[in-house]
Structure 1
Amino acid sequence: MATSSTSPRIPVIAIIGFSALWLASRWWLALVDKYVPEPYLDEVFHIPQAQTYCAGRFWDWDDKITTPPGLYLLSVAYHKLRVLSECTPLSLRSNNLLATVLTALLAAQCRHLIEIRAAERDGKQASGAISFNSYYTGLNIALFPVIFFFSALYYTDIISTLFVLVAYRNHLLRLGPHPPSIFNDLWTVALGICALFMRQTNIFWVVVYMGGLEAVHVLRSVQPAAQTYYKLHDPPLNQSGPEDWFFCVLGLGLTALSNPIKVIRQIWPHLTILAMFAGFVFWNGGVVLGDKSNHIATIHLAQMLYLWPLLAFFSAPLLIPSILCFITRPIQYLRSLLSLTSGRAVIISIPYTLFTVFLSLAVAQYNTIIHPFTLADNRHYMFYVFRYTILRSHAVRLSLIAAYTVCRWLVWDQLAGPSQPTWPQNPQNPSLIAEKTTASENSRTPASHAQKTEDPDATTATSWTSPSTSTALLWLLATALSLITAPLVEPRYFILPWVFYRLLVPAWRATDAPLPTRLSSSRLWRVVTESSMDVRLVLETIWFVLINVGTMYVFLFKGFYWRGEDGEFLDGGRVQRFMW
Structure 2
Amino acid sequence: MLMERFEGYIFTALCSTNFLVSCLIFSKITREQREPYMDELFHVPQAQKYCHGRFNEWDPMITTLPGLYLVSVGIIKPLVRLADLPGDVLCSTAMLRFINLLFNGGILYLLYRLVCRLHPKEKTRPAARRILSALSLSTFPVLYFFNFLYYTDAGSTFFVLFAYLMTLHGCHKASALLGVGAIFFRQTNIVWVAFCAGTLVAPLMDEAWRAAHAKKTDDRSSQVPLSPSGAKRVLLFAADFLASGGHVKAVLCVAWPYALVAVAFLVFMWLNDGVVVGDRASHQACINVPQLFYFLSFSLFFSSPVSLCYERALRFLQALKRRPLLFLAIAVASSLLVWKLTAVHRYLLADNRHFTFYVWRRLFQKHELARFFFVPAYVFAGWNFLDSLKSRSLFWTSAFLACVVAATVPQKLLEFRYFIVPYLMYRLHMPMPSLPRLALEFLLYSAVNAAAVYVFVAKTFRWPDSGATQRFMW
Query: Match for residue 204 of structure 2?
Result: 218
Instruction: Give the Cα–Cα distance (whole angstroms) in 2 for the partners of residues 160 and 469 of structure 1.
Output: 28
Residue pair 1:507, 1:534 contacting (<8 A) in 2 also: no
- Counterpart of 1:16 in structure 2 is 13
Deviating beyond 6 angstroms after TM superposition, the runs of 4 or more aligned structure 1 residues are 223-231, 233-237
**Which letter does structure 1 place at the counterpart of 2:380?**
V
**Residues 428-486 of structure 1: per-residue CA shift (max 9 Å, x gap):** xxxxxxxxxxxxxxxxxxxxxxxxxxxxxxxxxxxxxx222322222211111111111
Q: Measure how far apart 1:189 and its partner are.
A: 2.8
Based on CA coordinates, which of the two structures has the bigger radius of gyration?
Answer: 1
- Going from structure 1 to structure 2, the CA distance change for 1:91 and 1:107 (only over 3 Å counts) comes to same
Deviation sequence 1:397-421 (CA, Å, 0-9, x none): 11111222232233333333xxxxx
Following superposition, the deviation at residue 129 of structure 1 comes to 9.7
The Cα offsets for residues 41-61 of structure 1, whole Å up to 9 and x where unpaired, read as 000000000000000111100
Q: Tell which deviates more after alignment, 24-33 or 402-411.
A: 402-411
Output aligned runs, 1:542-561, within 5 Å: 542-561=443-462
Write the letter of the residue equivalent to 1:200. Q
Q: Deviations over 1:301-334 (max 9, x none)?
A: 1101111221112122123424x664xxx5x651
- Match for residue 443 of structure 1? none
Q: Alignment partner for residue 181 of structure 2, among 194, 203, 213?
A: 194
Q: CA deviation digits over 1:480-535, x for unaligned, max 9? A: 11111111010000001110011011124xxxxxxxxxxxxxxxxxxxxxxxx432
The gaps in structure 1 that reach 5 residues or longer are 120-125, 175-183, 341-345, 417-465, 509-532, 565-569
Say if 1:368 and 1:222 are closer, same or farther in 2 by CA, change over 3 A.
closer
Pairing 1:121-270 to 2, within 5 Å after superposition:
127=123, 131-174=127-170, 184-207=171-194, 209-220=195-206, 241-242=226-227, 246-258=232-244, 259-270=247-258
Does 1:316 find its partner at 2:304?
Answer: yes
1:192 is matched by which residue type in structure 2? G
Tell me if structure 2 keeps the 8 A contact 1:389–1:396.
yes
Contact 1:201 1:482 in 2 (8 A): yes
What TM-score, normalized by structure 1, do the two folds share?
0.74
Give the aligned partner of residue 181 of structure 1: none
Query: Match for residue 425 of structure 2?
Result: 500
Give the counterpart letter for 2:456 in structure 1.
Answer: F
Shift in alpha-carbon separation, 1:496–1:236, aligned structure 2, 3 A: farther
Asked whether the 8 Å contact 1:109–1:130 carries over to 2, the reply is no
Residue equivalent to 1:334: 317
Gaps of 5+ in 2: 82-86
Do structure 1's residue 81 and structure 2's residue 55 form an aligned pair?
Answer: no
Specify the alignment match of 2:84 in structure 1.
none
Q: How far does residue 373 in structure 1 lie from its aligned partner after superposition? A: 0.3
The aligned residue for residue 488 of structure 1 is 413
RMSD: 2.8
What is the rounded CA distance, in whole Å, between the counterparts of 2:184 and 2:190 in structure 1? 10
When residues 576 and 291 of structure 1 are mapped into structure 2, their CA distance, relative to the original with a 3 A threshold, is: same
Give aligned pairs, total.
461
Partner of 1:365: 339
1:475 matched residue in structure 2: 400
Contact 1:236 1:468 in 2 (8 A): no
Q: How much has 1:25 moved relative to structure 2?
A: 1.2
Other structure's SS at 2:289 match: coil
What residue number does 2:388 align with? 414
What is the CA–CA distance in structure 2 between the aligned matches of 1:56 and 1:381, rounded to whole Å? 37
SS at match of 2:469: coil
Partners of 2:32 and 2:8 in 1: how far apart?
37
Distance 2:30 2:222 in 1: 48
Equivalent residue, structure 1, for 2:62: 65
* Alignment match, 1:52: 49
Shift in Å, 1:29: 0.8
Answering whether residue 94 of structure 2 is matched by residue 98 of structure 1, we say no
Instruction: Give the CA deviation at 1:218.
Output: 3.1
Q: Does the CA-based 8 Å contact 1:361-1:398 persist in structure 2? A: yes
Q: Could you tell me how far 1:287 is from its partner in structure 2? A: 0.5
Aligned-partner SS, 1:94: helix
Take 1:477 and 1:234, find their aligned partners in 2: how far apart are those partners? 25
Residue 381 of structure 1, aligned match among 355, 364, 367: 355
Instruction: Give the conservation status (yes or no) of the 8 Å contact 2:456–2:473.
Output: yes
Shift of 1:173: 1.3
> Per the alignment, do residues 81 and 299 of structure 1 end up closer, same or farther by CA in structure 2, a change over 3 Å counting?
same
TM-score scaled by length of structure 2: 0.90
* Post-superposition offset of 1:141: 1.2
For residues 389 and 468 of structure 2, the distance between their equivalents in structure 1, rounded to whole angstroms, comes to: 44
Structure 1 or 2: more helix by fraction? 2
